[in-house]
Amino acid sequence: MDTFTLGFSGSAWFISFLIIIALAFTVFYYLRTIPPVPPAIKYLLAGIRGLAIILLVLVIFEPILSFIQSGEKAPKLAVLVDNSLSNGFHDALGNRQQAVRKAIEDSKIHSLNDDQILFYTFDSDIKPYEKFHFDSLNFQGQTTNISNAISHLSNKFSEENISSVLLISDGEFNEGVNPIYYAEKSARSYYTIGIGDSNEAKDLSISSIITNEIAYVDNPVPVSVQIKASGYSSGNITCTLIENDFVIEQKDLQITPQTSSLSATFNFTPKKEGVSKITAKISTLEGEITDKNNIKSGFIKVLKNKRRISIFSGSPSPDLSFILNTVSYEKGLEVKSFIQKKGAEFYNPQPTKQDILESEMIVFVGFPVSSTPANVLNMIKEALQKEKPLFFIASQQTDYSKLNQLQEFLPFTLLSSRANEFNVIADLSREALANPLIRVYGTEKDLELWNSLPPIFKTETFVKAKPESEVISTFKVNNVPMKEPLIISRSFQNKKSLAIMGYGLYRWKLLGYAADLAKNNPEAIDIYSALINNALKWLSVEQDEKNIRIRTTKQQYVKNEPVEFIAQIYDAAFTPIDNANVNIKISSGAASRDLSLNSLGNGRYYTKVEGLPDGDFFYQGNVEVNAARLGSASGRFNIGDIALEYMNLQMNAPLLRNLASRTGGKFYTPENASTFLDDLMSNPNFKPVSYTDRRESALWNLPYVLAAVILLFSIEWFLRKKYGMI
């Protein structure tokens, strides 16, 4: 039923009184005119003015016209049909596509009127259908996101009066979150028809590849392949590790009744810098439901191993000897040590500008000292300005006034310094466990190991960590916590630095590790070597804080999935650049494709490409600003190597049952789906709902009303002038 009302902000009696007064004044005004005009003109002019005054009075009191519509909405059923790959292949019970067809036909949902049913198919996204036919399904969805489909429906529940939902699916999802939360939140009844066999299928699959994200050329890294064996109690399989289509190694594995999971560990030695794709493959066994999950790939960023570091020392010292000995075990590390004599001279070799600039890292061990030449510090400063990392270890002879010339590259600010020496003990807090520099086991045991180290030396030098620095360790004096920095790291604007404000670090090895070895302690841990090695690795790994960052949203995409590119462009001061030309060239074999990224503002750029075939792709991004080249970035991605839909092959009956029972619905299989429609009709919530729709229009705020008042007064004025009226 439709009704409307007209309301005002004032009393209707008062408004009526004003209108009567205005009309009376109009009649009196036109009772006698000068000069006299025909009665018809009088009536016309009085009518025009009266209407204009009535409209003006009404506008002053803010009239609002309200439309009220009420009625009933018929209940609707939303049908969600899983259109992903896993809902369409064969299992022990037969063809799942035919099971979906049987579920749709036997549930009799097509007997409902068009205004009682809404059809949707879903995989990673959801698609509505005005008219649904079984042929609308292709079962090619590369991922399944049930929670997204339910969330989409939630926005239409009230609008469409969707009181119940029928979900036809195998219940397995590999995107999104557990759908039960969204279903319960919607307060609607969910009926589910489970597709597929709920028993464990006979299948082998690679569940994961575990390895380092970063490796170095010629340095072996372990690659662990985790294999799941379902439905087999015996059998022999071969696991193969491949790098860029080249077989690295093969291992034979045996399945026994006691093993539902297997593991194969390989050693991968990268031979060149870049991004390497490693692929694990396992052979098939007779009776496997599919072999599409017998392969899995991953990517490793390989850094060049021929790293050069320059170590500067104010004089020969035990700390220098121990560091040189430790780094000598690092493969592919070229070390140049520049040791100062008494005075301004150095032992051979002499530091040169070329040596320092070619170094990838600068290490100070008790350097600089008071006699360090200014030209050497200037050469080091020039190298550090090119974003070389700095590792500083103090000594009693360190000249902090000279060190202050490199203040911008240090992780601390000097407060005061005196050469008085005392013993300190490292004091790490639990928060430091997350820092890779002190990692040994990666557990709480690391804290115990560090805090039980023997004392080292420190001068009365007090510093303040810079705001962007992290204090990894403070120290204790006579077992009293001092809350002063001992180990400080900094990673800021593509510059890395690490400082140890104590010296005599060799004591950690001699009095700690060596003493434990002398006691035949089987759990002896060389904390000193772990720290030095971790420091070299952390300092040598480039930061993500680059002026040009171009990447894909992920490194592995499923078939037919759009590939998205994101770029962030900054100038040297890390100010975002919005007017850059960002172009990408994608190549795979002999084929290539050029793309341009669109600016999103604040230095961000984006583009998306669809329709790429399966395979490995390399991309090279180039950036220009005002026709000048700013820089480039490159990377790699793959399409089609991941088969998420084949990782879990049995029907997830527990999820479908819980989804139905916790929302007041019911779980079915295609064999008993014929009872669904009767259950739906007996559901007390599947009924029409009353609704009231109220809309208001503020007439006083409409420009047409004011225009009408002005037009009426204008017509009156025109006619009065025409007849010469005063």
Any domain includes 146? yes
Q: Are 675 and 196 in contact (CB under 8 A)?
A: no
User: Is 560 found in the same domain as 479?
Assistant: no
For 569, what's the count of Cα atoms within 13 Å in the CB-facing half-sphere?
27
As a whole number of angstroms, the distance between CA 205 and CA 228 comes to 5
Q: 560: which residues sit within 8 A by CB, 6+ positions away?
A: 140, 142, 610
User: Is 258 found in the same domain as 134?
Assistant: no
**Residue where a domain stops, chosen among 540, 557, 577:** 540
> Does pTM top 0.85 for this prediction?
no
Any domain includes 327? yes
Any domain includes 458? yes
Q: CATH number for the domain including 391? A: 3.40.50.880
As a whole number of angstroms, the distance between CA 409 and CA 390 comes to 7
For 183, what's the count of Cα atoms within 13 Å in the CB-facing half-sphere?
28
State the DSSP H helix or E strand holding residue 492, giving kind and residue range, or none if neither.
Answer: strand 480-492
Any domain includes 498? yes
Residue 542: predicted pLDDT: 64
**Residue where a domain stops, chosen among 480, 511, 540:** 540
* Helices of type H across 257-350: 318-327
User: Is 593 found in the same domain as 535?
Assistant: no
* First-to-final CA distance of the chain: 53
**Residue where a domain stops, chosen among 524, 540, 556:** 540
Q: pLDDT digits over 396-437, tens only?
A: 999 999 999 999 999 999 999 999 999 999 999 888 887 888
Q: Sort strands 307-313 and 361-365 into parallel, antiparallel or unpaired.
A: parallel
As a whole number of angstroms, the distance between CA 384 and CA 386 comes to 5
Q: Are 166 and 683 in contact (CB under 8 A)?
A: no
Residue 204: other Cβ atoms inside 10 A: 24
User: Is 64 found in the same domain as 7?
Assistant: yes
User: Is 299 found in the same domain as 266?
Assistant: yes
Which tokens sit at 173? 């999802």
User: Is 700 found in the same domain as 679?
Assistant: no
User: Is 486 found in the same domain as 346?
Assistant: yes
User: Is 346 found in the same domain as 234?
Assistant: no
Q: How many structural domains comprise the chain?
A: 5
Any domain includes 233? yes
Q: Are 352 and 378 in contact (CB under 8 A)?
A: no
Q: Is 222 helix (H, G, I), strand (E, B) or coil?
A: strand
Any domain includes 176? yes
Residue 544: predicted pLDDT: 47
Residue ranges in the chain modelled with pLDDT below 70? 1-2, 7, 158, 305-306, 522-523, 541-546, 572-574, 641, 691, 699-700, 726
Q: pLDDT digits over 576-600, tens only?
A: 888 899 999 999 888 899 999 999 9
295-303 β-sheet, strand order: 214-216, 295-303, 274-282, 235-243, 246-255
User: Is 155 found in the same domain as 58?
Assistant: no
User: Is 349 found in the same domain as 286?
Assistant: no
User: Is 468 found in the same domain as 350?
Assistant: yes
Q: 672: which residues sit within 8 A by CB, 6+ positions away?
A: none
Beta strands in 113-260 (DSSP E): 117-122, 126-129, 162-169, 189-194, 203-210, 214-216, 221-230, 235-243, 246-255
Residue 685: predicted pLDDT: 84
Q: Which residue has the tokens 């341009």?
A: 596
Any domain includes 644? no
Q: Containing domain of residue 44, as a range?
A: 2-70+696-722
Q: Give residue 277's Cα distance to chain centre.
A: 22
As a whole number of angstroms, the distance between CA 138 and CA 82 comes to 10
Q: CATH number for the domain including 291? A: 2.60.40.10
Task: Give counts: helices (H), strands (E), the chain.
Answer: 17, 37
User: Is 509 found in the same domain as 404?
Assistant: yes
Residue 39: predicted pLDDT: 82
Which phi and psi (to 5°) does residue 71 adopt? 175, -160
